[in-house]
Amino acid sequence: MTPSDQDNNNPGTADAQTQPAGGEGEDFDLSESVILVVDDNQQNVELIQAYLDDLPCKVLTAFDGLQAIEIVEDDDQPTPDLILLDVMMPKMSGFDVCRKLKDDPKTRTIPIMMVTALNELGDIERGVESGTDDFVTKPVNKLELITRVKSLLRVRHLKRELDRTEAYIKDIERIEGREG
């Protein structure tokens, strides 16, 4: 029996809910997550959707940058927890969509992963300057995509938890300030 096997058999050791993302058990509920896939090529959208079928997330789609912005700003749609964004699109490029969303205080915390055939250093720099959180290169590798998606969704989940905790602490401080 290895030391890690011993740890797994001891009561009081970490259970599946405290495993890191990508482990046997996730410590957050992916079924509540919404992913927006944006690409002007229908086949690319369908492929990414098929890859994401392994995750219990809701998937929204857009076929150009303007439609992506409309979906994100639509109060009747759930706000995406992650955007998978093609770079080269008509009407509005992925760089421009990313910049617009990252400049808006209401949407700047949504993680954006650029899915692109571009792999020149200048393209990567332009993506970073526009605010992208990650890149994946076409043709997309399923394992790489799923791993990165889970990681970015976990970051989004942890950011929300942190925001809730900070708000709770401020409420407590405000109440204690009144009583003191």
Q: Per residue in 1-21, pLDDT tens?
A: 443 343 333 333 333 333 333
pLDDT of residue 177: 81
Q: Which of 133, 153, 113 is nearest to 29 (CA)?
A: 153
Domain boundaries, the chain: 29-179
Q: Per residue in 27-72, pLDDT tens?
A: 678 999 999 999 999 999 999 999 999 999 999 999 999 999 999 9
- Given the structure tokens 């992916």, which residue do they identify? 30
Written as six digits, the tokens of 31 are: 């079924």
**pLDDT over threshold 50, residue 24:** no
Q: Per residue in 158-168, pLDDT tens?
A: 998 999 999 99
Q: Per residue in 98-139, pLDDT tens?
A: 999 999 999 999 999 999 887 777 888 999 999 999 999 999
User: What's the mean pLDDT in 71-84?
Assistant: 95
**pLDDT over threshold 60, residue 75:** yes
Written as six digits, the tokens of 5 are: 């096997």
- Given the structure tokens 């900070």, which residue do they identify? 166
Q: Per residue in 129-148, pLDDT tens?
A: 999 999 999 999 999 999 99
Domain covering 29-179, topology: Rossmann fold (3.40.50)
pLDDT of residue 179: 73
Contact 124, 135 (CB under 8 A): yes
pLDDT of residue 180: 61
Whether the model clears a pTM of 0.75, i.e. scores above it, the answer is: yes
- 164/38 Cα distance (integer angstroms): 29
| Residue % of the chain over a pLDDT of 90 | 69
Strand ranges (DSSP E) for the chain? Answer: 34-38, 58-62, 82-86, 112-116, 134-137
pLDDT of residue 27: 63
Q: Which of 50, 49, 41, 139 is nearest to 94 (CA)?
A: 41
